[in-house]
Amino acid sequence: MSSLIVEVCKINKVEKHPNADKLDIATIKGWNCIVGLNQYKVGDLVIYCPPDSIIPTDIIEKYKLEFLKKNGRVGTVKLRGVISEGLVLDIPKPMGSSWKEGLNVAIMLGITKWEPPQTNVQYNGGKTSKKKLNPYFDKYTDIENIKHFPTLFKEGEEVIITEKIHGANARYGILPKYENSWWGKIKARLFGSHEFVYGSHNVQITGHRGRKCYYETDIYAQAVKKLELDKKLPKDYVFYGEIYGKGIQDLTYGLEDITIRFFDIKNIKTGKYVDYDEFLILCSIYKLNIVPELYLGKYSVDIVKQLTGGKSVLYENQMREGCVIKPIKERTEHMGRVILKSINEEYLLRKNGTENK
């Protein structure tokens, strides 16, 4: 999950395509895009549309983007042996004459983000509940691609790099039922202060007691039952994990069933994610499997590149989706929480891949 950044960017580098006489390779931030020969030069301002941008019909027609007419979705392709990620557009004139580097023009141009369908979830036989959602059941951080923020981590900074699992994002917590008002405190005394809630990245599936809440296709509840999360998790934390295995995505990790590994925890009393050391301690106490740790140490660009590709630690016959990088000690910057993902190019190019949530 990540936000949509369609940014006015400066071209950092242009080099000749090694296998095509009429093509160049333009580098924008951390992205490489194939463009026409001599179409751009270093320092030019352009609009960069990352993979999974949905380009509206009027833009497709204006820029003569015939290859996008089917569904408008920008992707990653390999042209003559070179990877091209995203789409480069000229800044429109005269409306874009005042656009400066760093401006996000997604809304102005009507460009939206492609969203994968929700994974295997039923809610009360197909109906969503009208019950008020738990106010403390926070969604997980939208993780941006490191190619958007190539200088966010500094060389030598202490980081943890973990494998990014291709599955379905899940969250669980035993959380306060009521907000901290005088009436909420009275209701907490009368009816109990906490409730168990679980769900996907976007949807709180249930938080209800006294009625059936497990469904055959509710993969999120299967983890609850298997691990007894509703009984053993500590109060006032949200645990975030990835459900994976057979039937979840096209990458099954050699499993005939499904399982879950956890990757982050949020303390709702402080409103902050816990540092990595505390995360390890909590997962150890409550016997929760965690995502594979690929590297713990000083950050470098080369280490990230090395750990982005290759085979999965979980199953040696399957490619790795990529990796996630975050500091050992939580911190924030202008773009929010410091956590980035780096995606394996071979994963992006695979055929018949699924991207369910």
Which pLDDT tens digit goes with each residue over 274-286? 999 999 999 999 9
Q: What pLDDT shows up at residue 130?
A: 43
Cross-sheet strand order for the sheet of 322-327: 144-145, 340-343, 322-327, 158-164, 293-298
| Reported confidence tier of residue 177, pLDDT bands at 50, 70, 90 | confident
Task: Round to whole Å and give the CA distance between 132 and 148.
Answer: 36
Q: What pLDDT shows up at residue 128?
A: 44
Would the pLDDT of 319 be above 50? yes
Would the pLDDT of 129 be above 50? no
Integer Rg of the chain from CA? 22
Q: What pLDDT shows up at residue 205?
A: 85
Task: Round to whole Å and give the CA distance between 261 and 290.
Answer: 5
Q: What pLDDT shows up at residue 179?
A: 65
| Reported confidence tier of residue 237, pLDDT bands at 50, 70, 90 | very high
Give the pLDDT mean for 232-244: 97
Amino acid present at 208: H
Q: What pLDDT shows up at residue 127?
A: 44
| Overall CATH class of domain 144-349 | alpha beta
Comparison of pLDDT for 126 and 9, the residue scoring more:
9
Looking at the whole model, is its pTM more than 0.85?
Answer: yes
Annotated domain spans of the chain:
7-113, 144-349
- CATH for 7-113 is 2.40.50
pLDDT tens for 54-96 read: 999 999 999 999 999 889 999 999 999 999 999 999 998 877 7
- The mean pLDDT value of the chain amounts to 89
Do the bridges between strand 340-343 and strand 322-327 make them parallel or antiparallel, or are there none, so unpaired? antiparallel
CB-CB contact of 86 with 53 (8 Å): yes
Q: 10 Å Cβ neighbour count for 58?
A: 10
Q: 10 Å Cβ neighbour count for 155?
A: 10
pLDDT tens for 192-203 read: 678 999 999 988
Give the pLDDT mean for 28-34: 95
Element (H, E) at 305: helix 301-308
Domains 7-113 and 144-349 share a fold: no
Comparison of pLDDT for 257 and 184, the residue scoring more:
257
Bridge partners for 348 per DSSP: none
Comparison of pLDDT for 208 and 109, the residue scoring more:
109
Percent of the chain topping pLDDT 90 = 77
